[in-house]
Amino acid sequence: MKRRLFVASSLSALGLAGCGQVKTSLTNGPFRNVLLSTEKLNDAVIGTHGLAREYKDSDVDRDFRVNGLDTPSDATYTSLAHGDFHDYRLVVDGQVDRPQKLSLAELRAAGDRTQITRHDCVEGWSAIGKWRGVPLATVIAMAQPKPAARYCVFYCFDTDESGQNYYESLDLHQAAHPQTVLALDLNDKPLDLRHGAPVRMKIPTQLGYKSAKWVRRIELVADFKPIFGGTGGYWEDQGYEWYAGI
Protein backbone atom coordinates (compact mmCIF):
# COMPACT_ATOMS: atom_id res chain seq x y z
CA MET A 1 0.00 0.00 0.00
CA LYS A 2 2.75 2.40 1.03
CA ARG A 3 4.75 1.57 -2.05
CA ARG A 4 1.76 2.07 -4.26
CA LEU A 5 1.11 5.46 -2.71
CA PHE A 6 4.76 6.37 -3.24
CA VAL A 7 4.65 5.30 -6.90
CA ALA A 8 1.43 7.21 -7.46
CA SER A 9 2.69 10.40 -5.84
CA SER A 10 6.06 10.31 -7.62
CA LEU A 11 4.27 9.69 -10.91
CA SER A 12 2.02 12.68 -10.36
CA ALA A 13 5.02 14.78 -9.29
CA LEU A 14 6.79 13.70 -12.48
CA GLY A 15 3.70 14.56 -14.45
CA LEU A 16 3.47 18.02 -12.92
CA ALA A 17 7.18 18.69 -13.36
CA GLY A 18 6.97 17.46 -16.96
CA CYS A 19 3.96 19.67 -17.53
CA GLY A 20 5.90 22.64 -16.17
CA GLN A 21 8.73 21.92 -18.60
CA VAL A 22 6.31 21.63 -21.51
CA LYS A 23 4.80 24.99 -20.58
CA THR A 24 8.24 26.62 -20.37
CA SER A 25 9.48 25.18 -23.65
CA LEU A 26 6.25 26.10 -25.43
CA THR A 27 6.59 29.66 -24.12
CA ASN A 28 10.24 30.03 -25.17
CA GLY A 29 10.29 27.80 -28.27
CA PRO A 30 9.58 28.65 -31.91
CA PHE A 31 5.92 29.30 -30.98
CA ARG A 32 7.08 32.41 -29.12
CA ASN A 33 7.20 34.44 -32.34
CA VAL A 34 3.56 33.58 -32.96
CA LEU A 35 2.66 34.74 -29.44
CA LEU A 36 4.57 37.99 -29.92
CA SER A 37 2.75 38.74 -33.19
CA THR A 38 -0.46 39.62 -31.32
CA GLU A 39 1.00 42.94 -30.20
CA LYS A 40 1.09 44.43 -33.73
CA LEU A 41 -2.45 43.19 -34.34
CA ASN A 42 -3.70 44.85 -31.13
CA ASP A 43 -1.91 48.10 -32.00
CA ALA A 44 -3.49 48.02 -35.48
CA VAL A 45 -7.02 47.18 -34.25
CA ILE A 46 -7.19 49.11 -30.95
CA GLY A 47 -4.49 51.76 -31.44
CA THR A 48 -4.88 55.11 -29.69
CA HIS A 49 -8.30 56.69 -30.23
CA GLY A 50 -10.67 58.78 -28.15
CA LEU A 51 -10.06 60.30 -24.75
CA ALA A 52 -9.53 58.49 -21.45
CA ARG A 53 -12.29 59.19 -18.96
CA GLU A 54 -11.69 62.25 -16.76
CA TYR A 55 -12.94 62.14 -13.17
CA LYS A 56 -14.10 64.50 -10.42
CA ASP A 57 -11.92 65.86 -7.61
CA SER A 58 -13.73 63.60 -5.15
CA ASP A 59 -12.61 60.47 -7.07
CA VAL A 60 -8.90 61.18 -6.48
CA ASP A 61 -6.75 58.81 -4.41
CA ARG A 62 -5.09 61.22 -1.94
CA ASP A 63 -2.36 58.68 -1.24
CA PHE A 64 -1.56 57.67 -4.81
CA ARG A 65 0.01 54.20 -4.90
CA VAL A 66 3.78 54.10 -5.44
CA ASN A 67 5.14 51.38 -7.72
CA GLY A 68 8.15 50.72 -9.96
CA LEU A 69 11.88 51.09 -9.41
CA ASP A 70 13.23 52.81 -6.28
CA THR A 71 13.51 56.60 -6.05
CA PRO A 72 16.88 57.53 -7.61
CA SER A 73 19.65 57.94 -5.03
CA ASP A 74 22.63 58.86 -7.21
CA ALA A 75 24.62 62.08 -6.64
CA THR A 76 23.23 63.97 -9.67
CA TYR A 77 19.60 63.41 -8.74
CA THR A 78 20.14 63.93 -5.02
CA SER A 79 21.89 67.28 -5.53
CA LEU A 80 19.15 68.42 -7.94
CA ALA A 81 16.54 67.45 -5.36
CA HIS A 82 18.43 69.33 -2.63
CA GLY A 83 18.25 72.46 -4.75
CA ASP A 84 14.51 72.03 -5.22
CA PHE A 85 15.22 71.14 -8.88
CA HIS A 86 16.25 74.73 -9.61
CA ASP A 87 19.09 73.45 -11.78
CA TYR A 88 17.02 70.74 -13.45
CA ARG A 89 16.83 71.01 -17.24
CA LEU A 90 14.72 68.75 -19.43
CA VAL A 91 16.80 67.98 -22.51
CA VAL A 92 14.93 67.51 -25.80
CA ASP A 93 17.28 66.49 -28.60
CA GLY A 94 17.97 63.93 -31.31
CA GLN A 95 16.22 64.30 -34.68
CA VAL A 96 15.19 67.92 -34.06
CA ASP A 97 16.02 71.31 -35.57
CA ARG A 98 16.00 73.20 -32.24
CA PRO A 99 17.27 71.13 -29.28
CA GLN A 100 15.86 72.36 -25.95
CA LYS A 101 17.03 72.59 -22.36
CA LEU A 102 13.95 73.53 -20.36
CA SER A 103 13.82 74.59 -16.74
CA LEU A 104 10.74 73.80 -14.66
CA ALA A 105 9.64 77.46 -14.96
CA GLU A 106 9.96 77.27 -18.74
CA LEU A 107 8.01 74.01 -18.81
CA ARG A 108 5.20 75.51 -16.74
CA ALA A 109 5.12 78.53 -19.03
CA ALA A 110 4.97 76.35 -22.17
CA GLY A 111 1.55 74.85 -21.50
CA ASP A 112 -0.92 74.00 -18.77
CA ARG A 113 -3.22 71.00 -18.72
CA THR A 114 -4.93 69.44 -15.70
CA GLN A 115 -6.49 65.99 -15.94
CA ILE A 116 -7.97 63.66 -13.34
CA THR A 117 -7.40 60.26 -14.91
CA ARG A 118 -7.15 56.61 -13.92
CA HIS A 119 -3.79 54.90 -13.85
CA ASP A 120 -4.10 51.22 -14.86
CA CYS A 121 -1.15 49.10 -13.81
CA VAL A 122 -0.18 46.05 -15.89
CA GLU A 123 -0.48 44.08 -12.63
CA GLY A 124 -4.22 44.73 -12.61
CA TRP A 125 -4.88 47.50 -10.06
CA SER A 126 -6.13 51.03 -10.81
CA ALA A 127 -5.73 54.37 -9.00
CA ILE A 128 -6.98 57.87 -9.78
CA GLY A 129 -4.77 60.97 -9.64
CA LYS A 130 -5.03 64.64 -10.55
CA TRP A 131 -2.16 65.46 -12.89
CA ARG A 132 -1.10 68.91 -14.02
CA GLY A 133 1.62 69.66 -16.52
CA VAL A 134 2.47 70.31 -20.17
CA PRO A 135 1.12 68.32 -23.12
CA LEU A 136 4.05 66.39 -24.60
CA ALA A 137 3.03 67.57 -28.08
CA THR A 138 3.75 71.19 -27.05
CA VAL A 139 7.28 70.38 -25.90
CA ILE A 140 8.03 68.29 -28.99
CA ALA A 141 6.75 71.09 -31.24
CA MET A 142 9.15 73.54 -29.54
CA ALA A 143 12.05 71.32 -30.60
CA GLN A 144 10.79 71.13 -34.22
CA PRO A 145 11.23 67.43 -35.12
CA LYS A 146 12.96 66.56 -38.38
CA PRO A 147 11.03 64.45 -40.92
CA ALA A 148 13.12 61.41 -39.94
CA ALA A 149 11.80 61.50 -36.32
CA ARG A 150 9.30 58.69 -35.63
CA TYR A 151 9.59 57.99 -31.90
CA CYS A 152 10.38 59.91 -28.75
CA VAL A 153 12.41 58.11 -26.11
CA PHE A 154 12.24 59.12 -22.44
CA TYR A 155 15.44 58.63 -20.42
CA CYS A 156 14.98 58.56 -16.66
CA PHE A 157 17.11 59.05 -13.53
CA ASP A 158 16.09 55.75 -11.90
CA THR A 159 18.10 52.56 -12.28
CA ASP A 160 17.59 48.93 -11.29
CA GLU A 161 20.02 46.82 -9.21
CA SER A 162 22.13 46.08 -12.29
CA GLY A 163 22.53 49.79 -13.07
CA GLN A 164 20.20 49.74 -16.09
CA ASN A 165 18.36 53.06 -16.50
CA TYR A 166 14.58 53.14 -16.82
CA TYR A 167 13.45 54.37 -20.22
CA GLU A 168 10.32 54.34 -22.34
CA SER A 169 9.16 55.40 -25.79
CA LEU A 170 6.09 56.43 -27.78
CA ASP A 171 5.52 56.92 -31.48
CA LEU A 172 4.71 60.47 -32.53
CA HIS A 173 1.00 59.66 -32.97
CA GLN A 174 0.75 58.47 -29.34
CA ALA A 175 2.91 61.44 -28.26
CA ALA A 176 0.46 63.85 -29.94
CA HIS A 177 -2.52 62.56 -27.91
CA PRO A 178 -3.92 65.52 -25.92
CA GLN A 179 -3.85 63.52 -22.65
CA THR A 180 -0.19 62.50 -23.05
CA VAL A 181 1.41 64.98 -20.66
CA LEU A 182 4.65 65.74 -18.91
CA ALA A 183 3.24 65.96 -15.39
CA LEU A 184 4.76 68.34 -12.82
CA ASP A 185 2.01 68.25 -10.17
CA LEU A 186 0.08 65.42 -8.53
CA ASN A 187 -3.05 66.20 -6.51
CA ASP A 188 -2.42 69.98 -6.51
CA LYS A 189 1.19 69.71 -5.26
CA PRO A 190 4.52 69.50 -7.10
CA LEU A 191 5.41 65.82 -7.61
CA ASP A 192 7.13 64.39 -4.56
CA LEU A 193 10.32 62.35 -4.90
CA ARG A 194 8.56 58.97 -4.82
CA HIS A 195 6.08 59.92 -7.56
CA GLY A 196 8.73 60.96 -10.09
CA ALA A 197 9.81 64.53 -9.23
CA PRO A 198 10.31 66.83 -10.93
CA VAL A 199 8.87 65.57 -14.25
CA ARG A 200 7.15 62.32 -15.19
CA MET A 201 5.05 61.06 -18.09
CA LYS A 202 1.30 60.56 -17.72
CA ILE A 203 -0.26 58.50 -20.50
CA PRO A 204 -3.77 57.39 -19.44
CA THR A 205 -4.46 55.58 -22.75
CA GLN A 206 -1.75 53.01 -21.99
CA LEU A 207 -0.75 50.82 -19.05
CA GLY A 208 1.17 52.37 -16.16
CA TYR A 209 4.66 51.25 -17.12
CA LYS A 210 4.59 53.63 -20.10
CA SER A 211 4.20 56.59 -17.70
CA ALA A 212 7.92 56.86 -16.90
CA LYS A 213 8.89 58.72 -13.74
CA TRP A 214 11.95 60.95 -13.13
CA VAL A 215 12.33 61.94 -16.82
CA ARG A 216 15.60 63.78 -17.60
CA ARG A 217 15.82 63.67 -21.40
CA ILE A 218 13.57 63.18 -24.42
CA GLU A 219 15.31 62.04 -27.58
CA LEU A 220 13.57 62.00 -30.95
CA VAL A 221 14.75 59.06 -33.04
CA ALA A 222 14.00 57.32 -36.31
CA ASP A 223 14.17 53.91 -34.59
CA PHE A 224 14.59 52.70 -31.00
CA LYS A 225 16.33 49.42 -31.92
CA PRO A 226 19.86 50.75 -31.20
CA ILE A 227 18.84 51.90 -27.68
CA PHE A 228 19.53 49.61 -24.69
CA GLY A 229 17.70 46.26 -25.21
CA GLY A 230 16.21 47.51 -28.47
CA THR A 231 12.51 47.00 -27.73
CA GLY A 232 11.70 50.57 -26.73
CA GLY A 233 11.48 50.42 -22.94
CA TYR A 234 12.75 49.00 -19.67
CA TRP A 235 9.88 46.52 -19.19
CA GLU A 236 9.64 45.88 -22.93
CA ASP A 237 13.24 44.59 -22.74
CA GLN A 238 11.91 42.07 -20.20
CA GLY A 239 9.13 40.75 -22.40
CA TYR A 240 6.28 43.24 -21.92
CA GLU A 241 4.52 44.78 -24.92
CA TRP A 242 5.72 48.05 -26.41
CA TYR A 243 2.09 48.74 -27.36
CA ALA A 244 0.63 48.90 -23.85
CA GLY A 245 -2.90 49.95 -24.81
CA ILE A 246 -4.12 46.51 -23.64
Partner 1 sequence: MTADAHAGALPSDSSRAQGRHVYRHGVAARTAHWTWTLAILVLVMSGLQIFNAAPYLDASDKSNPAKRVLAFDAQNTAGGPVGYTIVFGHRIVTTHLLGYTDDGMGSESLRAFPAWLTLPGPQDLADGRRWHLFFAWVLFVAWAAYLISAALRGTLRELVMRPDDFRKLWPMPLYYLRLRKEPPPHGTYNPLQKLTYNVIVFVFFPLLILTGLTLSPAVDAAVPWLTALFGGRQFARLWHFVLMVLLLGYFATHLALVLTTGFWNNMRSMITGWFVLGKHDGVGP
Q: Does 24 bind partner 1 (CB under 8 A)?
A: yes
Provide the phi-psi class of 180: left if phi over 0, else alpha when psi is between -120 and 50, else beta. beta
Q: How far is the CB of 177 from partner 1 (least distance, A)?
A: 9
CB 100 → partner 1: shortest distance, Å? 29
Residue type, 64: F
| Interface mask toward partner 1 for 4-23; x: CB under 8 A | ------------x--xx--x
Distance in angstroms (rounded) separating the CA atoms of residues 176 and 213? 19
Counted residue by residue, the chain has a size of 246
Which C-beta is closer to partner 1: that of 11 or that of 109?
11
Q: Which of 100, 187, 205, 231 binds partner 1 (CB under 8 A)?
A: 205
Q: Distance between CA 35 and CA 33 in Å, rounded?
A: 5
State the Cα–Cα distance between residues 191 and 156, nearest whole angstrom. 15
Site string for partner 1, 81-120 (x = CB under 8 A): -------------------------------------x-x
DSSP sequence for 89-104 = -EEEEESBSS-EEE-H
Residue 35 CA to residue 20 CA, distance in Å, equals 18
Least CB distance to partner 1 at residue 81 (A): 29
Residue 96's DSSP bridge partners are 145
CB-nearer residue toward partner 1: 210 or 216: 210
Residue among 99 and 178 whose Cβ is closer to partner 1: 178
**H-assigned helices in 144-203:** 172-175
Shortest CA distance to 221 belongs to which of 153, 174, 173, 170?
Answer: 153
Q: Is 135 in the site for partner 1 (CB under 8 A)?
A: no
**What residues from 140 to 199 belong to the interface with partner 1 (CB under 8 A)?**
none
The nearer residue to partner 1, 100 or 174, going by C-beta atoms, is: 174
Number of residues that bind partner 1 (CB under 8 A): 47
Q: Toward partner 1, which CB reaches closer, 71 or 206?
A: 206
Q: Please give the Cα distance from 67 to 64 (Å, whole number).
A: 10
Helix (H, G, I), strand (E, B) or coil at 197: coil
Residue 166 in 3-state DSSP?
A: strand
**Which helix (H) or strand (E) segment is 142 a member of?**
helix 136-143
- Candidate segments 47-55, 89-97, 146-154, 184-192, binder of partner 1 by CB under 8 A: 47-55
49 binds partner 1 per the rule CB under 8 A = yes
Q: Which residues bind partner 1 (CB under 8 A)?
A: 16, 19-20, 23-24, 27, 32, 34-39, 41-42, 46-53, 59, 61, 65, 118, 120-128, 204-207, 235, 238-241, 245-246
